[in-house]
Homo-oligomer: A and B are copies of this chain.
């Protein structure tokens, strides 16, 4: 159980061109900053990325767009990113838009050994095109398939050396389901604590899902929309 790594280098360098990667985060909240930057540095190409968003032009997954490393993006919302539009219109980037709840459930299903499930989300819309339709109790549903990727990039708050993870506030978001959906899951965390220091009832992601744990330093945690109360 040698899961703790002191450099991302050794693990990220194993990621081949053409790999698929599921990435945690919602907007810029709870994104695996260091893993993304290391992947940008390494320049791995033709990636298929599954993530709710695609960062902004200069941060998060936007860094991989900038570097033209992404071949296909599967996301629910990509409206914050001008580069995205440009590459899509140029035909440099394939895009699959998936409703947010369906994306979350497809990741959970993939991680849980469920190849497909039915949902009413998207019925009667473009999303349903080409998908199997089925009725249950008089209502129509479409079939959606589970996602399993070569790698999962996860950001957590705390980890122990077994890879048990705890997330903080809404930085949890997609990370727990992403952690289950990678053949190799790499978690970067703000704090590495000793084994047994996380209360077993309070663990969000059991270490069984995690292959590598890295304690990152100097998290930027950029804020997309700083909004404060308007005091009189």
Give me the interface of A with B, judged by CB distance under 8 Å.
105, 109, 112-120, 134, 136-137, 139, 141, 145, 166-169, 172, 200-202
A121, closest chain B residue (CB): B113
- Measured between beta carbons, the chain B residues less than 8 angstroms from A117 are 109, 114, 116-118
Tell whether A169 pairs with B200 under 8 Å between CB atoms, given A116-B117, A118-B117, A141-B115. yes
Tell whether A137 pairs with B119 under 8 Å between CB atoms, given A166-B201, A200-B169. no
Q: A105–B115 Cα gap in the complex (Å)?
A: 13
Among A115, A137, A167, A172, the one with the most B-chain Cβ atoms within 10 Å of its Cβ is: A115
Interface of A is mostly: mixed
- Does A118 contact B116, Cβ atoms closer than 8 Å? yes
Give the copy number. Answer: 2
Q: A154–B99 Cα gap in the complex (Å)?
A: 31
- Measured between beta carbons, the chain B residues less than 8 angstroms from A114 are 105, 117-119
Q: A168–B200 Cα gap in the complex (Å)?
A: 10
Q: A172–B128 Cα gap in the complex (Å)?
A: 37
- With A113-B119, A115-B136, A117-B118 already in contact, 11 other A-B pairs whose C-beta atoms are closer than 8 Å: A105-B112, A105-B114, A113-B120, A114-B118, A115-B118, A115-B137, A116-B117, A116-B141, A117-B117, A169-B200, A172-B201
Among A105, A118, A119, the one with the most B-chain Cβ atoms within 10 Å of its Cβ is: A118
- Does B141 contact A136, Cβ atoms closer than 8 Å? no
